[in-house]
Structure 1
Amino acid sequence: MHSTTRTRVAGTDLLTPSDIRELSSGLGIRPTKTLGQNFVGDGGTVRRIVSHAGVSEGDHVLEIGPGLGSLTLALLEAGAYVSAVEIDPVLAAALPETVNARHDRPERFAVAQFDALKLAHHELAVPPALGYFMPTFLVANLPYNVAVPALLTALELLPSLKVIDVMVQLEVAERLAAPPGSRVYGVPSVKTAWYAEATRGPLISRSVFWPVPNVDSALVRFERRPAPDAERSEVFAIIDAAFSQRRKTLRQALAGWAGSPARAEEILRAADIDPSRRGETLTIEDFVAIAHARV
């Protein structure tokens, strides 16, 4: 049996495992794999995420996929203003009530119901305590099935974001933070490097979730850096081409993009990159150099 004792600190009543089950039952929610719904019911874990992100009093935090509100309450406990994006209409409608019942300053929270992958077509909700909202942090327990596209979408469309600290499937975290030459280095590693420097954080046990997933999770932190001086769409096209045939040399893998293997080799040599190398050995700066060399 899980204890029903709740943790109350700084005017915030965090969710326990039994709270998670009670809220789910009351809302008629059955967590689905389709939406990647695995709810955290451990106060220590959500506080750990907030601490790892470095969120403090007055910060503007975007949360994607807040679910029942476990991490939301921990962010509010830290003194942040939180704007959440939730795709599930039932959960989105219930969140304000949960925050109002468990936090002393519910006016610091707002939620918008839409798919975060369609952020370009929607606006973030503004907490009533503010007249505007410009997120500098993205902190989230990202659904496993949309973690990478959600990150890339937020990084592209919200230049005010300086720090992203998210919990994702361990395998995804390792890919995102992988260095060139690593076995798991790939398209997500390079494309996120366009925007930010990634660092893998601590492991999160699967046991803190309900329902318990089949995989462990980990935190991964991104710190925004200036965008390279190049056309992003062109560089991303080169990245896609280089990894679409991972076993082939760059001379062959980039042949379609360049027009021919000979032209690919010419461009690569102009960029001072050996045509016999493979895409998995290149940094984001190397891909930018290839884009510049084609001009």
Structure 2
Amino acid sequence: MTRSEAHLLGPAEIRELADKLGVSPTKKLGQNFVHDPNTVRRIVAAGDVTSSDHVVEIGPGLGSLTVALLDTAQRVTAVEIDPRLAAELPETVAQRAPFGDLTVVNKDALQVTATDVESPTALVANLPYNVSVPVLLHFLEIFPSIERVLVMVQAEVADRLAAQPGSKIYGVPSVKADFYGDVRLAGNIGRRVFWPEPNVDSKLVRIDRRDRFDHAVRPEVFALIDAAFAQRRKTLRAALSGHYGSGQAAEDALVAAGIDPKLRGERLSVDDYVRLAR
């Protein structure tokens, strides 16, 4: 079998696998399995996955995207919390993409450490919707080798991640994602490609890493972001008074960074927060 002949999973195969394993998708784990071959091909293409990539995939489920990734990528490491799904994935890959180099990590994605995955170059995943932002930020933090991200998330979350300063939906996820690189929307995904069909729309988000900032400043930058948005209706002087110890100290820091203390946190770009942290 050549790489171009990987047998992708369709709706019937997904149901068969689920029945075999006694798996019912659960809301608790944010499971909605993709069963459309065209969608997984589109995700791989949107992520610019190449034959030199080591892709880390989070929440592979029954393996529809995994098989498509192995059709192109050099290696795939799949992080799966459900032990039944983690145990079955190598079997599915052996049948459908036997040329693929797959490693499975049976672990909660939020508990993954830098030693669990060897220098991934790309993160491509249909992220579990209930933990999508924390998982995304966790992997960007612990794997500086990740150059590109292409994730499918709830549409509302995607819009927040890609939001610009000053917009109503600009918030903590927007600024923190922007710390790591250029964030943009990369397409809409219909509900019918999932089993079970979710009651929300989905979108693709692409992040191209740009190491513009010294990562040593990240803890302070993220603390400032959290404080500024915890009371987003307050001015920065008021919102950051707890962080700096007093309103006056907050004002002094803001002025020193060239930021108007009367602004709200939603007006600041990630560059402003980095300048303030320094």
| TM-score, shorter chain, exceeding 0.5 | yes
Q: Which of 211, 230, 233 matches 1:244?
A: 230
Q: Which residue of 1 aligns with 2:46?
A: 52
CA deviation map 1:18-40 (0-9, x unaligned): 11111101100010000000000
Distance 1:149 1:255 in 2: 26
CA deviation map 1:55-87 (0-9, x unaligned): 122311111110000000111112431111100
Residue 104 (str. 1) matches residue 89 (str. 2): no
TM-score (norm 1): 0.91
Root mean square deviation of aligned Cα: 1.4
CA deviation map 1:214-233 (0-9, x unaligned): 10100000111114245211
Check whether the contact 1:198–1:221 (CA below 8 A) recurs between aligned residues.
yes
Q: Which residue of 1 aligns with 2:112?
A: 119
Q: Which of 174, 177, 186 matches 1:189?
A: 174
Unaligned runs of 5+ in 1: 1-7, 125-132
Distance 1:224 1:201 in 2: 15
Distance 1:289 1:83 in 2: 36
CA deviation map 1:258-283 (0-9, x unaligned): 11111111111111111110000101
What is the CA distance between 1:123 and its match in structure 2?
1.2
Unaligned runs of 5+ in 2: none
Distance 1:43 1:80 in 2: 20
Q: Which residue of 2 aligns with 1:167?
A: 152
Check whether the contact 2:225–2:273 (CA below 8 A) recurs between aligned residues.
yes
What is the identity percentage for the equivalent residue pairs of Structure 1 and Structure 2? 57
Matches within 5 A, 1:12-91: 12-91=6-85
CA deviation map 1:183-233 (0-9, x unaligned): 111001111111111011100001100000010100000111114245211
In structure 1, what residue type is equivalent to 2:259? I
In structure 2, what residue type is equivalent to 1:12? A
Check whether the contact 1:64–1:141 (CA below 8 A) recurs between aligned residues.
yes
Q: Which residue of 2 aligns with 1:289?
A: 275
Check whether the contact 1:63–1:72 (CA below 8 A) recurs between aligned residues.
yes
Q: Which residue of 2 aligns with 1:222?
A: 207
In structure 2, what residue type is equivalent to 1:170? A
State how many pairs are aligned.
276
> 4+ residue stretches of structure 1 with deviation over 3 A?
none
TM-score (norm 2): 0.96
Distance 2:213 2:18 in 1: 45
